[in-house]
Structure 1
Amino acid sequence: MTETVAQRHHLEHIPLAPPGTTSGLLEVFRRRYLLRLMVRREIQARYARSFFGLAWSYINPAVRFLTFYFVFGLVLGRGMGVENFAIHLFAGMVLVHYFTESITSGTSSLLKNKGVVQKMAMPRELFPFASMLVSLYHTLPQLVILSGACVIAGWDPDLVGFAAALLGFAIVMLFGTAMGLMFSVFNVLLRDFGRIVQTFINMLPFTVPMMYPYSMIEAKFGGGIGHTIYMMNPATEAVLLMQRGFWYTTTDQTTYAESFPDDLWSRGLIMLAIGLVLLVVAQWVFTRYESKVPEMMT
């Protein structure tokens, strides 16, 4: 027993490492208790001193959807000849909102937690990753509103549609996490970077097929270089997959069978693989520059 205790306290064989040294995102999963605390803190901070609290997560998307329905469903008819156009638009907006909020909150996450970053030795990847999870948390009420609208519109869901929607979410989650991770460091090194990101994010809703159908892009560009460039946007692929899961199953499917590219699934899987590669690159960039983060915050 004595030898066992002595061996247990014999630490010479253990290499010394700086207290802030981590193994990247893997360390975040190892410290899940810290991740839970960060997510809970961000959620509580958002609804601090709010009378309605979490109800705002349902009120805002419900009002947004009813506005779309009134404008596009009642005032403008079916909206560009697309059946249930309000659902078509809102299905895309759910993923676009999740994507933009993940990137925006991830970009500002290190600066927003400046005091903790400078004083505590913890995996700094925790902050952008927690921001992505908080964004996902606030997307769930929008999914509830979207599902309710689909049911009212005569939703006929299928397993292929559910798989498509999950693939769309996976793409957005990967790209949102990767960009938030990488941009959070850049935003510390160059404070204008957050404004640059916001400028490009403001353009995003117009570059995906939610305010207009994909058929317009196909008719405009055909299979040319314009179509190829348009489809290189991961948010475009994710929105189409989301619409396949929700909007398409509320329509006359024989009429809208041509509303998606023929290679929708192969493009989705390729985009998922690209997202994984980008996440690895983002982790490498983050690790390379994170040592400069505390001193650049002063």
Structure 2
Amino acid sequence: MTFGAPIDLSGFEVPGRGRGLLDVFTRGYLLRLLIRKGTATRYRNSLLGWIWSYVKPAAQFVIYYFVMGVIMNQNRGIENFPIYLFAGVVAVNLFNEAFGNATSSIVDNRALVKKIYLPRELFPIASIIIAFVHFLPQVAILLIVCLVVGWQPTMMGLAGVVLGIVIIQIFSLGLGLFFGAMNVRFRDAQNFVELIRMFSTWTSPVLYPWILVQGALSNHDWLFTLYTWNPLTVAVELFHQGFWAPTTGTGDTTDSIMPDFGVALLAALVLCAAMLVIGQTTFRRFERSFAQDL
């Protein structure tokens, strides 16, 4: 044995440091376990079980429809307003659940984080996939209602819905990584998350048409531009064009889509990518002390 000889460490990894999101693709089995665990335990010991996935959005829809459709008279101003409303509610619900679950995913899995090392990004990614699974029953109801009123889907509309889902998931993951890391060190980060989730329904055209915002901000075009660049606004409009617009009977959706929507879509995609980079960078900076902070 020769003392002082260099040791080959090429076959080893530094504990606690990996390649971030890229490591998730090499841990498919662990990801499936976390998803199975999350979906199996969501309604454990619940009398209604998965029925709550239908009851909650239905109750939410009834309240919004009564306030905005009946009291505020939006039901007369927008053709097939119930479908317009529910399409937006479904999109925002996906964002709220994915973002909220991703934010709390590290704290909720503190036992695993403190005992073993595994890519911590597995937890927020599993959370947004679980949110997507719970989103499917709501889409099923929306599809049934659309078919009843004569929905005639188009390839462009369906592709828009898929793109809207992708935008919501990427945006939720980026925000979830950022606030999830912050939430471990500073627990009041959860309060900021609740504020964002509360405002999400009102800062996108869910309960009202975008044209009202355009009219209210007619003297501040730059504010309306920022409004249209909101990834959630773009995703909701993609849902409207995929589900609601084909039921209006005109067959022409160009009048109902926001101005410069192509620019808004590109801006939303850039913002989603930027948020994902910021979230991953922040997450990797804070993850070294997750076990100690928990």
TM-score (ref. length: structure 1) = 0.88
The aligned residue for residue 188 of structure 1 is 184
CA distance 1:191–1:67, change in 2 (3 Å): closer
Equivalent residue number for residue 267 of structure 1: 264
What is the CA deviation profile of residues 254-291 of structure 1, one whole-angstrom value per residue up to 9, with x for unaligned ones? 68642212322342233123312321222121111110
Matched with 2:3 is none
Instruction: Pick from 17, 37, 61 the counterpart of residue 33 of structure 2.
Output: 37
1:217-232 to structure 2, matched below 5 A, reads: 217-222=213-218, 224-232=221-229
* Contact preservation (8 Å) 2:168, 2:235: yes
Partner amino acid, structure 2, of 1:199: L
Tell me the residue number matched to 1:47.
43
Alignment-derived partner of residue 244 in structure 1: 241
- Alpha-carbon distance between aligned partners in 2 of 1:17 and 1:159, rounded to the nearest angstrom: 46
Contact 2:230 2:268 in 1 (8 A): no
Alignment CA distance shift 1:75-1:248 (3 Å): same
Is the 1:214–1:259 contact (alpha carbons within 8 Å) kept by the matching residues of 2? no
Which of residues 127, 131, 143 is equivalent to 2:123? 127
Correspondence 1:277 to 2:274: yes
Secondary structure at the aligned position of 2:202 is classed as: helix
When structure 1 is superposed on structure 2, of 164-173 and 60-69 the one drifting more is 60-69
- Work out the number of aligned pairs and report it: 287
State how 1:133-172 maps to structure 2 within 5 Å.
133-172=129-168
Gaps of 5+ in 2: 1-6
Shift of 1:55: 2.9
d(CA) in 2 for partners of 1:226, 1:76: 24
Cα RMSD between the aligned structures? 2.3
Describe the superposition over 1:180-239 as per-residue Cα deviations: whole angstroms up to 9, x where unpaired.
111111001111010121022211111111111112122222471221122232111110
Distance 1:191 1:18, change over 3 A: same
Go from structure 1 to structure 2 and tell me whether the alpha carbon gap of 1:254 and 1:78 turns closer, same or farther (over 3 Å shift). farther
Distance 1:68 1:288 in 2: 41
Cα-to-partner distance string for 1:104-159 (whole Å, 9 max, x where unaligned): 11111111111110001100011111111111111111100111111112112111
CA 1:245 to 1:255, structure 2 compared with 1: closer, same or farther past 3 Å? closer
TM-score, normalisation: structure 2: 0.89
Q: Who is 1:103 aligned against? A: 99
Q: Tell me if 1:20 matches 2:16.
A: yes
Aligned residue for 1:104, secondary structure, equals: helix
- Partner of 1:3 in structure 2? none
Equivalent-residue separation in structure 1 for 2:244 and 2:108 (angstroms): 37
Q: Percent identity?
A: 37
Matching residue of 1:207 = 203
